[in-house]
Homo-oligomer: A and B are copies of this chain.
Protein backbone atom coordinates (compact mmCIF):
# COMPACT_ATOMS: atom_id res chain seq x y z
CA UNK A 1 0.00 0.00 0.00
CA UNK A 2 3.13 2.10 0.31
CA UNK A 3 2.64 3.48 -3.19
CA UNK A 4 -0.52 5.19 -2.01
CA UNK A 5 1.30 7.54 0.33
CA UNK A 6 1.55 10.13 -2.40
CA UNK A 7 4.09 12.55 -0.86
CA UNK A 8 6.44 9.67 -0.04
CA UNK A 9 6.09 8.14 -3.50
CA UNK A 10 6.70 11.53 -5.10
CA UNK A 11 9.86 12.06 -3.07
CA UNK A 12 11.14 8.56 -3.87
CA UNK A 13 10.48 9.30 -7.54
CA UNK A 14 12.52 12.50 -7.25
CA UNK A 15 15.43 10.69 -5.61
CA UNK A 16 15.17 7.96 -8.25
CA UNK A 17 15.84 10.51 -10.97
CA UNK A 18 19.29 11.23 -9.57
CA UNK A 19 22.14 9.41 -11.31
CA UNK A 20 23.21 6.13 -9.70
CA UNK A 21 20.19 5.89 -7.41
CA UNK A 22 17.91 2.93 -8.06
CA UNK A 23 14.36 2.25 -6.89
CA UNK A 24 15.33 0.67 -3.56
CA UNK A 25 17.87 3.37 -2.72
CA UNK A 26 15.40 6.09 -3.68
CA UNK A 27 12.85 4.64 -1.27
CA UNK A 28 15.41 4.33 1.48
CA UNK A 29 16.39 7.98 1.00
CA UNK A 30 12.73 9.05 1.00
CA UNK A 31 12.12 7.23 4.29
CA UNK A 32 15.28 8.72 5.72
CA UNK A 33 14.00 12.19 4.86
CA UNK A 34 10.89 11.56 6.98
CA UNK A 35 13.12 11.22 10.02
CA UNK A 36 14.71 14.63 9.47
CA UNK A 37 13.64 17.49 11.67
CA UNK A 38 11.51 20.13 9.96
CA UNK A 39 14.54 22.47 9.92
CA UNK A 40 16.75 19.83 8.34
CA UNK A 41 14.20 19.07 5.64
CA UNK A 42 13.76 22.77 4.92
CA UNK A 43 17.52 23.32 4.78
CA UNK A 44 17.83 20.44 2.30
CA UNK A 45 15.02 21.75 0.11
CA UNK A 46 16.43 25.27 0.23
CA UNK A 47 19.92 24.05 -0.69
CA UNK A 48 18.50 22.51 -3.86
CA UNK A 49 16.65 25.64 -4.92
CA UNK A 50 19.52 27.94 -4.00
CA UNK A 51 22.13 25.88 -5.82
CA UNK A 52 19.90 25.84 -8.86
CA UNK A 53 19.22 29.59 -8.81
CA UNK A 54 22.48 31.01 -7.46
CA UNK A 55 25.09 28.94 -9.26
CA UNK A 56 25.80 30.12 -12.78
CA UNK A 57 28.64 30.27 -15.26
CA UNK A 58 31.56 32.65 -14.77
CA UNK A 59 31.23 35.45 -17.34
CA UNK A 60 34.82 34.83 -18.49
CA UNK A 61 35.84 31.19 -18.12
CA UNK A 62 32.37 29.56 -17.90
CA UNK A 63 33.32 27.66 -14.72
CA UNK A 64 30.55 27.48 -12.14
CA UNK A 65 30.32 30.30 -9.60
CA UNK A 66 27.80 32.08 -7.44
CA UNK A 67 29.20 35.47 -8.45
CA UNK A 68 29.76 37.36 -11.69
CA UNK A 69 33.30 35.97 -11.99
CA UNK A 70 34.64 32.72 -10.53
CA UNK A 71 37.29 32.71 -7.80
CA UNK A 72 40.11 31.92 -10.26
CA UNK A 73 39.14 34.71 -12.67
CA UNK A 74 38.75 37.18 -9.76
CA UNK A 75 42.17 36.30 -8.32
CA UNK A 76 44.96 38.86 -8.83
CA UNK A 77 47.69 36.25 -8.40
CA UNK A 78 46.83 33.95 -11.31
CA UNK A 79 48.84 34.00 -14.53
CA UNK A 80 46.57 35.40 -17.23
CA UNK A 81 48.88 34.32 -20.05
CA UNK A 82 48.03 30.61 -19.74
CA UNK A 83 44.63 29.02 -20.31
CA UNK A 84 43.80 25.47 -19.39
CA UNK A 85 40.80 24.17 -21.39
CA UNK A 86 38.74 21.49 -19.62
CA UNK A 87 35.47 19.71 -20.30
CA UNK A 88 33.79 20.06 -16.93
CA UNK A 89 33.85 22.20 -13.76
CA UNK A 90 34.91 19.09 -11.85
CA UNK A 91 38.07 18.98 -13.97
CA UNK A 92 38.93 22.49 -12.73
CA UNK A 93 38.56 21.22 -9.17
CA UNK A 94 40.78 18.21 -9.96
CA UNK A 95 43.54 20.39 -11.43
CA UNK A 96 43.28 22.89 -8.56
CA UNK A 97 43.91 20.07 -6.13
CA UNK A 98 47.37 19.54 -7.68
CA UNK A 99 48.39 23.07 -6.52
CA UNK A 100 50.70 23.06 -9.57
CA UNK A 101 48.80 25.27 -11.96
CA UNK A 102 48.65 29.05 -11.59
CA UNK A 103 47.05 30.03 -14.88
CA UNK A 104 43.40 30.51 -15.79
CA UNK A 105 40.82 28.01 -17.05
CA UNK A 106 38.20 27.69 -19.70
CA UNK A 107 35.36 25.24 -19.19
CA UNK A 108 33.82 23.82 -22.37
CA UNK A 109 30.84 22.14 -20.62
CA UNK A 110 31.13 19.08 -22.82
CA UNK A 111 33.03 17.69 -25.78
CA UNK A 112 32.32 17.62 -29.47
CA UNK A 113 30.43 14.41 -30.11
CA UNK A 114 28.88 14.11 -33.57
CA UNK A 115 27.22 10.79 -32.66
CA UNK A 116 25.30 12.54 -29.88
CA UNK A 117 24.65 15.59 -32.05
CA UNK A 118 26.93 17.82 -29.98
CA UNK A 119 28.83 20.27 -32.17
CA UNK A 120 31.17 23.14 -31.21
CA UNK A 121 28.21 25.53 -31.00
CA UNK A 122 26.86 23.56 -28.02
CA UNK A 123 30.11 24.16 -26.13
CA UNK A 124 31.62 27.45 -24.92
CA UNK A 125 33.89 27.75 -27.97
CA UNK A 126 32.62 31.25 -28.81
CA UNK A 127 33.46 32.37 -25.27
CA UNK A 128 36.88 30.74 -25.60
CA UNK A 129 37.71 32.60 -28.82
CA UNK A 130 36.61 35.89 -27.23
CA UNK A 131 39.41 35.49 -24.69
CA UNK A 132 42.06 35.90 -27.39
CA UNK A 133 40.81 39.30 -28.51
CA UNK A 134 43.16 41.26 -26.24
CA UNK A 135 46.37 39.27 -26.90
CA UNK A 136 46.98 38.49 -23.21
CA UNK A 137 46.90 34.71 -23.59
CA UNK A 138 50.05 33.17 -25.06
CA UNK A 139 49.63 29.51 -24.16
CA UNK A 140 46.72 27.10 -24.11
CA UNK A 141 46.83 23.68 -22.44
CA UNK A 142 44.21 21.27 -23.75
CA UNK A 143 43.13 19.27 -20.73
CA UNK A 144 40.08 17.54 -22.16
CA UNK A 145 39.68 13.89 -21.14
CA UNK A 146 42.00 11.32 -22.75
CA UNK A 147 39.08 9.79 -24.65
CA UNK A 148 38.40 9.72 -28.37
CA UNK A 149 35.97 12.62 -28.08
CA UNK A 150 38.20 14.60 -25.71
CA UNK A 151 41.09 14.10 -28.10
CA UNK A 152 39.05 15.14 -31.13
CA UNK A 153 37.83 18.27 -29.32
CA UNK A 154 41.42 19.18 -28.36
CA UNK A 155 42.54 18.82 -31.97
CA UNK A 156 39.58 20.80 -33.27
CA UNK A 157 40.28 23.68 -30.86
CA UNK A 158 44.02 23.58 -31.53
CA UNK A 159 43.29 24.14 -35.22
CA UNK A 160 41.14 27.14 -34.34
CA UNK A 161 43.68 28.64 -31.94
CA UNK A 162 47.00 28.13 -33.67
CA UNK A 163 46.28 30.74 -36.39
CA UNK A 164 45.83 33.25 -33.54
CA UNK A 165 49.51 32.80 -32.71
CA UNK A 166 49.14 31.02 -29.38
CA UNK A 167 51.12 28.00 -28.30
CA UNK A 168 48.81 25.00 -27.84
CA UNK A 169 49.80 21.94 -25.82
CA UNK A 170 48.08 18.77 -24.63
CA UNK A 171 48.24 17.05 -21.23
CA UNK A 172 50.97 14.37 -21.28
CA UNK A 173 49.82 10.79 -21.69
CA UNK A 174 51.56 8.13 -19.63
CA UNK A 175 51.29 5.61 -16.86
CA UNK A 176 49.45 6.92 -13.80
CA UNK A 177 51.71 7.52 -10.81
CA UNK A 178 51.41 4.72 -8.26
CA UNK A 179 49.91 2.27 -10.75
CA UNK A 180 51.55 -0.97 -11.83
CA UNK A 181 52.95 -1.26 -15.36
CA UNK A 182 51.58 -4.79 -15.55
CA UNK A 183 48.02 -3.46 -15.46
CA UNK A 184 48.48 -0.52 -17.81
CA UNK A 185 46.67 -0.93 -21.12
CA UNK A 186 48.70 -1.17 -24.33
CA UNK A 187 47.69 2.20 -25.68
CA UNK A 188 48.64 4.03 -22.47
CA UNK A 189 51.94 2.18 -22.30
CA UNK A 190 52.71 2.90 -25.94
CA UNK A 191 51.98 6.60 -25.32
CA UNK A 192 54.18 6.54 -22.19
CA UNK A 193 57.07 5.05 -24.20
CA UNK A 194 56.55 7.53 -27.00
CA UNK A 195 56.55 10.45 -24.57
CA UNK A 196 59.55 9.25 -22.54
CA UNK A 197 61.65 11.97 -20.98
CA UNK A 198 65.34 12.10 -20.18
CA UNK A 199 66.26 11.81 -16.50
Contact = CB atoms under 8 A, between A and B. Distances in A.
Which residue among A4, A20, A28 has the maximum number of chain B CB atoms within 10 Å of its CB? A4
Copies of the polypeptide in the assembly: 2
Interface in A32-82: 32-34, 36, 38, 41-55, 63-66, 70-72
Contacts of A96: 1-2
A25 B70 CA distance: 23
Nearest to A1: B71
Chief secondary structure at chain A's binding surface? helix
Q: Which size class do A's interface residues fall under?
A: 35 or more
Contacts of A2: 64, 89-90, 92-93, 96
A19 to B, nearest CB: 6
A33 B51 contact: yes
B11 A48 contact: yes
A177 interface: no
